[in-house]
């Protein structure tokens, strides 16, 4: 009797019984890869608008930069190109050469007025003849480029922009000359070590002018080549300029590099000595009462100690 039983359907074990799951796993794997691929494509597609958004934001960024530059130029600092030699050798400039570029600080005159010795940039009165001639832009694009060039100090300034040194302020009387050929203010000669190529003595004199309220008398350091207040004494302003027309104080030379430096305001009228003594005088005035009180207290303490010693 054979122990072998005839095989039935229940006894049949497929040879790939354990391989079905593997095949289904293999079949599922491409689907997983497909989903991952679709996710990657969506992620890549989602990154594309970022490039577009940058392009869309660029005009906004440029507009913001333009507005900030306009604010800085209007209220704080502005660069200027020196086109003429009227301020030699303090400031270098001449037609066709590399003139100095200066930064003009507007902040000092927010709450004050220019002082004698300050180098100022200003809008000249309509009676002043331009020192330089500037070709007007032929189209709006050229005009915008010229405006930008003036804002950063690489283009010639407007024809009515001037740079000079303040010599006298409102209420002061200026004239020339004393026995040594020096300009005087209120009868006192000025100390002007910066003068370059002074005008010959016979050509220097000009009559006394009392500067009206709200105006300034200005002159160039290169006296023989400067069309300043002296040249316009016969106009309705007696050669003076308005304080309100001052754009700012020339603070420093920024170009060319070999001329980089700060621009000072010398004490041309000799007023700093009195200004330096003022704090000392105020200090002494405040110290005297304190000293007197302390001495009084010491005397009182000494008087109170004498009876105690006698007892």
- Tell me if residue 73 is catalytic: no
Q: Name the active-site residue from 84, 164, 226, 229.
A: 164
Tokens of 191: 């100390």
Length of the chain: 311
- Give the phi and the psi of residue 22 in degrees, each rounded to 5: -65, -40
Q: Are 84 and 222 in contact (CB under 8 A)?
A: no
DSSP alpha helix (H) spans, the chain:
20-75, 140-151, 272-310
User: Could you confirm whether 106 is annotated as catalytic?
Assistant: no
Lookup: tokens for 41: 């494509």
Task: Write the DSSP symbol of residue 107.
Answer: G
Name the nearest CA neighbour of 222 among 102, 91, 78: 91
Are 100 and 92 a contacting pair, CB within 8 Å? yes
- DSSP code of residue 152: B
84, 86, 229, 265: the catalytic one is 86
Residue 152: name the closest of 244, 72, 83 by CA. 72
Residue 230 in tokens: 């002296």
Active site residues: 86, 164
């Amino acid at each position: 009797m054979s122990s072998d039983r005839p095989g039935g359907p229940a006894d049949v074990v497929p040879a790939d019984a354990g391989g079905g799951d593997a095949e289904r796993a293999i079949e599922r794997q491409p689907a997983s890869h497909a989903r991952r691929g679709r996710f990657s494509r969506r992620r890549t597609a989602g990154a594309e608008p970022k490039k577009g958004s940058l392009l869309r934001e660029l005009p906004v960024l440029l507009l913001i930069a333009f507005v900030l530059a306009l604010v800085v130029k209007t209220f704080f600092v502005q660069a200027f190109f020196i086109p003429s030699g009227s301020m030699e050798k303090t400031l270098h400039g001449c037609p066709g050469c590399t003139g100095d570029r200066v930064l003009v600080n507007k902040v000092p005159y927010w709450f004050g007025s220019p002082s004698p010795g300050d180098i100022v940039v200003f809008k000249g009165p309509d009676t002043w003849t331009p020192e330089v001639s500037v070709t007007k832009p032929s189209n709006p694009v050229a005009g915008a480029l010229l405006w930008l060039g003036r804002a950063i100090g690489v283009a010639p300034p407007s024809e009515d922009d001037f740079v000079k040194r303040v010599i006298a302020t409102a209420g002061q009387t200026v004239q020339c000359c004393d026995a040594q050929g020096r300009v005087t203010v209120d009868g006192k000669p000025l100390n002007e070590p910066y003068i370059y190529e002074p005008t010959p003595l016979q050509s220097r004199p000009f009559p006394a002018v009392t500067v009206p309220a709200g105006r300034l008398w200005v002159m160039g350091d290169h006296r023989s080549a400067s069309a300043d207040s002296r040249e316009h004494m016969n106009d309705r302003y007696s050669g003076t300029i308005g304080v309100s027309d001052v754009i700012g104080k020339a603070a420093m030379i920024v170009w060319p590099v070999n001329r980089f430096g700060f621009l000072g305001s010398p004490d041309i009228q000799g007023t700093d000595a009195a200004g330096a003594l003022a704090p000392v005088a105020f200090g002494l005035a405040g110290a005297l009462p304190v000293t007197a009180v302390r001495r009084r207290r010491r005397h009182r303490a000494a008087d109170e100690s004498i009876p105690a010693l006698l007892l």
